[in-house]
Structure 1
Amino acid sequence: MTSHLTLGTDQAHARLHDLTVIDVRTPGEYASGHLPGALNIPLDQVRRALPEIRHAAGRGEVLLVCASGARSESARTLLAEHGIPSAALSGGTSAWAADGHALERPAGYDSRAGWSMERQVRFTAGTAVLLGLLLGLLVHPAFQLLSAGIAGGLVLSALTDTCGMAVVLARLPHNRPRPADLAATLAALRRG
């Protein structure tokens, strides 16, 4: 049973062989680099995978991972609500890589092919704010409401530690280069 709510990267690295690692990012993010041996169950599929995750937790510790720690903490909270002990990786794959630990990538993955979700959100929010300001100046002042809406969304995102824009962007085709093979992942969790 996991006694900590979070594990630091060095703690996780030292115990990696004893952990069932579940990466809750989108398939595209997972392909861009994940902890060695991590299984991909996107956050929006975790509820469906609860029986298999419970089975894995019965055999040993479950570590949840995302890019920065926010989504894995959401998944950890969901599992806790269902009586499944787990821990989240503090700082996510960003901290893992920054601390010098290796990330796995599928064979043939081109790291230049895609942007991280955080970068996509910054680009989209910045473009929408700029567009709202320009259209507000050149076409009609009401277009400035677009900029105000994005600003409000960013504030809400910071206060709730969620990101609606990331949820929407994750559904775009370029962020789903391959669907998560949830059936294979669930089978792997059952096998142990």
Structure 2
Amino acid sequence: MTLRSIDPHQAKRLLDQGAVLVDIRESDEHAREHIPGVRHLALSQLDAGDLAALRGRAVIFHCRSGARTASNAAALAAKADATCDVFMLEGGLEAWRKAGLPTVVDRRQPIELQRQVQIGAGGLALVGTILGLTVSPWFLAVPLFVGGGLVFAGLTGFCGMALILQRAPWNRPAGAAARSAA
């Protein structure tokens, strides 16, 4: 079984006929913006049992840009029931939005953790480089350290900056921040 690619308007027609849209992004990404009526099943935690209730229905998988869905298409198709027609939304949430179809946006949610890491690492590298060129070459140790950390994260899957950012006050649920202050 393989995932067939469909555009947002084809997906909308299938949804109107009873298909199920499955968002495979992580929880923080889904909380920030998602398609109304979508079922959220993060790829990192998805197993075949999660899709058992969808037996006999068309299932459309999506992520942010379509790349994550495409790179995991074989695994997603294998987890879907043999009675399901399975599709992937080409271009993902971004294509859905560009097609003028509705999304639910919650700006109170923090931006995705991966983007926070990119902003933090890029900011540190930029500032370290500027300071290294204008103030002291010793500041070039900052982008060197950040670059080494990114390579380590890519090789091992462990990102220290992501762990630190996860614990930042803006990434905690509202009740958790109040409890830790007490």
Q: Distance in 2 between matches of 1:66 and 1:176?
A: 23
Q: Is the 8 A contact 1:28 1:176 kept in 2?
A: no
Partner of 1:80: 77
Q: Does 1:7 align with 2:1?
A: no
Partner of 2:22: 22
Relative to structure 1, the CA distance from residue 151 to residue 89 in structure 2 (aligned partners, 3 Å threshold; closer, same or farther) is same
Q: Distance in 1 between matches of 2:34 and 2:93?
A: 7
Q: Is the 8 A contact 1:68 1:95 kept in 2?
A: yes
Partner of 2:51: 53
More divergent stretch after superposition (34-43 vs 128-137): 128-137
Partner residue of 1:124 out of 120, 124, 129 = 120
Identity %: 28
Deviations 1:29-67 (A, max 9, x none): 2122222210111121113xx1231441x2211111111
Q: Which has the higher contact order (CA 8 A, sep 6+)?
A: 1
Q: Distance in 2 between matches of 1:176 and 1:51?
A: 30
- Higher alpha-carbon Rg: 2
Q: Distance in 2 between matches of 1:93 and 1:5?
A: 17
Relative to structure 1, the CA distance from residue 4 to residue 26 in structure 2 (aligned partners, 3 Å threshold; closer, same or farther) is closer
Q: Distance in 1 between matches of 2:150 and 2:45?
A: 29
TM-score (norm 2): 0.66
Partner of 2:101: 101
Q: Distance in 1 between matches of 2:28 and 2:90?
A: 21
Deviations 1:83-121 (A, max 9, x none): 64632211111111111000135xxx4x15432456434
Relative to structure 1, the CA distance from residue 36 to residue 124 in structure 2 (aligned partners, 3 Å threshold; closer, same or farther) is same
Question: Aligned-residue CA RMSD in angstroms?
Answer: 3.7
SS in 2 for 1:68: coil
Q: Distance in 1 between matches of 2:104 and 2:26?
A: 15
Number of residue pairs aligned between Structure 1 and Structure 2: 162
